[in-house]
Structures are given as structure tokens and as C-alpha cells.
Amino acid sequence: MNERPKFFDDLAGVAGGAMSALAGLREELATLARARADEAVRRLDLVKRDEFEAMAELAQRAKLEVEALEARLARLEATGQNPPPNDPEVKL
């Protein structure tokens, strides 16, 4: 009868070791997958969302400024005036 409980103890030890090995393998696979995904993102030359939004905001401001300058130029051309050299609205 002593052999039977020892057998189950050994079996439980082997099962516990197998579970530990599987948990380690799962962590290793997750790390490998994360590394592969990061590598793919770097190869695609993607940008982060906050960088994209900052550039989109900058582009929107530039567009509004260009539209304002075009409207101002159209008004000046319509009246035949040239802006004074020290005009604060003229940004060079």
C-alpha cells in the first residue's frame, strides 16, 4: 500500500512540473508574439496616435491660415492696394 500513495505523489509532482513548464511556455510565446508585432510595426513605419493627431492639428491650423491669407490677398487685389511693409497681419 505504500507504493500506491507514492505513485500518486510522483504523478502529482510530474503534473505540477508539466503545468509550470506550460505556463513558462505560454509566457515565452506571448513575449515572442509581442516582439514580432513590435518589429512589424517598426517595419511599417507607423506613427503613434498622439503624434498623428498633433500633425493633423498643425495641418488644420496651416490650412486655416492659408485660407485667411488667400482671402486677404483677394481683398487687396480687388481694391488694388498693396499692404504696408510693417503690416502686423503680414507674416514672412
- Which amino acid belongs to residue 71? A
* pLDDT tens readout for residues 32-85: 999 998 888 888 888 889 999 999 999 999 999 999 999 999 998 888 876 666
- Tell whether the model's pLDDT for residue 4 goes beyond 70: no
CB 58 within 8 A of CB 51: no
* pLDDT tens readout for residues 58-71: 999 999 999 999 99
Rounded-to-integer distance, Cα 47 and Cα 54, Å? 11
Rounded-to-integer distance, Cα 91 and Cα 61, Å? 15
> Is the full-model pTM beyond 0.95?
no
- Tell whether the model's pLDDT for residue 5 goes beyond 70: yes
Mean pLDDT, range 2-21, rounded to an integer = 75
